[in-house]
Amino acid sequence: MVFTDDSSAEVPLTLNAEAKVTEDNGSEQGPNQFETGLDRDEVANMAKLVAELAKEWSDRTFAVKILRGLCALTLESPDRLEPAPDSRHWGFTVLEIGEALDRLGIGGAQLLGSDAQQSMKRNWRKLMELWEREAPTIAQRLSARKVSLRPTLFREIGGGSGNPSRFGFRFLRCEGVANQQIPSINWLDVPDISYRQADISGNRLIRWLSDRGLYLSGRTGKAYLSVTYALFVAGVFVLWLLFVALTHAPTTLDFLKIFVSGAVILTVGYFFFGWQARLVTNRITLAPVLLQPFASSRNDYLLELRPDQETERNSLYMVRYVGDCPICGVKGHDKVHIEPGRREFFGRLVGRCNRAPNEHVFSFDHVTRQGRFLR
């Protein structure tokens, strides 16, 4: 049985983007299938939930009123949406929808006048656009109430005054929804997270350094330490100059100018060179923005000092770690990335979940590659 044609703008609503429907030859392609035998109570419950949801939408256009009218008619006569060979016995006419709106007290005059058909045509197109936009919201509401039916808006175009166009829902069945339950989380016993090395930067220079290791000993180590000490001495000297200048500032305005200039200099210096101090102190730090790959969607590459047991030296690597959030538990949407600890975990690197970066926060140990739930 074929339920749609090119003239009926139908928007399927499923939880699974890859869900298929049953073909005419009866070969099932996926977990969802068109319903040919409907449960009146289930259809009525679906219509009630969709109508409740439509009341909550901020959209107050006439298209939403039409949807509420369809839901009211479905709640009254769910058998009218039972698939039948004769389309004249299926769905609801424009006149019936207008009368339903009057009974609801939300105004159905547009569907009762002489321009009713044109008004319905315009607003049906708007309703289809609204339905497509709100499809995930409707699916979530039905899943939360364990309703496995998935409604799709449907229009059966008539052939004249004796056979008017009819409007209503067709239904898909989403298997297994009735058994779905929202997992209960024991926040005092959230499992630890395991991190894994995802990749190394694709930058040629960084890749060369990562593959071979940058040994911080001998001449290389002395050069690195010389630059670090030089920057430290320069910072102390700038602070001393600022102190002297501030104490000899003739006016308050000169004082403020010197203070602001010094603050800018120190901020810029810390932005460009502060990562060196953090790397030496913590043996791992977030790579500066200038070293982050431009093609990466996240600035989560880390500079890490790793001991080389054979040479007894430290090697510098630029790597990225990820983990699977033990709270979300949905593949592809639950990755935990390493980010700064911000004010709450100042000076630390923590793992933050894609879905809830402020709530699903984990510690990060680059040696054991383990972490525990922080909040």
Place of tokens 């000490």: 229
Write out pLDDT tens, residues 50-101. Answer: 998 888 888 888 999 999 999 999 999 888 888 766 666 788 989 999 899 8
Distance CA(22)–CA(32), nearest Å, equals 8
What pLDDT score was predicted for residue 202?
59
Burial classification of residue 92, based on how many CB atoms lie within 10 Å of its CB (0-12 exposed, 13-18 middle, 19 or more buried)? buried
The total number of residues shown for the chain amounts to: 375
What pLDDT score was predicted for residue 311? 64
Residues of the chain with pLDDT under 50: 1-34, 178-179
Strand blocks (E) in 175-277 = 193-200
At residue 126, the pLDDT reads: 92
Identify which of 10, 114, 109, 127 has the alpha carbon closest to the alpha carbon of residue 66.
Answer: 127
Instruction: Using the structure block, give the residue that is written with the tokens 């008539």.
Output: 158
What's the CA gap between 291 and 269, in Å, rounded?
A: 16
**How does pLDDT run across 6-24, given as a tens digit for each residue?**
334 443 333 333 333 333 3
DSSP 8-state secondary structure symbol assigned to residue 375: -
Rounded to whole angstroms, the Cα distance separating 74 from 91 reads 9
Contact assessment for residue 81 and residue 166, using Cβ atoms and an 8 Å cutoff: no
Report yes or no: 76 and 48 within 8 Å, Cβ to Cβ. no
Give me the amino acid identity at 86.
D
| Residue 259, phi then psi, degrees to nearest 5 | -65, -45
Given CA atoms 257, 273, 362, 320 in this order, what sign does their dihedral have? positive
Residue 86: its pLDDT value, please?
A: 67
Indicate the SS3 state at residue 310.
coil
